[in-house]
Structure 1
Amino acid sequence: MTRMIEGIAGLKALVGEHLGYSPYTEITQEQVNTFADATGDHQWIHIDVERATAGPFGGPIAHGYLTLSLGPMLSPQIFAVTGISMGVNYGAGKVRFPSPVPVGSKLRLGATLQSVEDVAGGAQVTMEFVFEVEGAAKPSCVAEVIFRYYE
């Protein structure tokens, strides 16, 4: 269930808290192929199923940036900020891809609110997003993501 956060004051009250997890979503070869077409990254480890099966991961894996790009789909399943006029993606700090996301695996997102800083008209919010493959020992992506919320 989505956690509702009331405005910038509500965000400030949650600094340091883990906000929860999204449900798992399956990563399909169709998603990977569509992402490859959109970005021009057609490396065989992602799109050539036969060759990837004989490769180092035993099958095709999702692009790291595909994993990161699922944040806007998965994060609203964890939290929503109400009482604001607008929220925008502002950028990212450190991003790492410690382990692969095999095609056919299930992926979820966990979010921790790291900081809230006042900016003109609103606040800059930094969160840690951790993407996890079901059953994997290490996360697949750990990213510091930055949002701006305006009143």
Structure 2
Amino acid sequence: MRPLLQSLFLLCLLGPGPALAADLQVEDPWVRAGPPTARVMAGYMTLHNPGASDREIVRVTSPAFERVELHLSRVEDGMARMIPQDALRIPAHGSLELAPGGYHLMLFNPAAPLQPGDKVELTLQDAAGNRLQVSVPVRLPTDGDAGHSHHHHH
């Protein structure tokens, strides 16, 4: 079994480099603007996977932040909790919405104050090591952003 897994891993490494970019689509990415002294910000987007296999985002990095974590907001026992996630799974032929009140990115310690209209670069990495770079605007939430995960599903 191990040689088979190693072979599959090598095939993934030798396969087309921009596989994540070709297979995964990002819709409406944004980072919530905060006060100039904000040390933690949140990022949102919808990830679409037109491929035949589930995809997992296992890491997100950005030169604009010290670190980025994957999180899920959930109400448990009447208390809102943020639960760190090891990965974000995008089902085959499906999508995953990162939105206020659900899955989201936690962006820690911005390198510089960010204001509405600024853009930050995020690099999404999947379990196979493929990367997708996304330019994300910083903006204030709109009325449509206040809901949970009931919009932008196809």
| Same-fold call, TM cutoff 0.5 | no
Q: Which has the higher strand share?
A: 2
Q: Which has the higher helix share?
A: 1
Query: What is the TM-score when the length of structure 1 is the normalising length?
Result: 0.29
Query: What is the TM-score when the length of structure 2 is the normalising length?
Result: 0.29
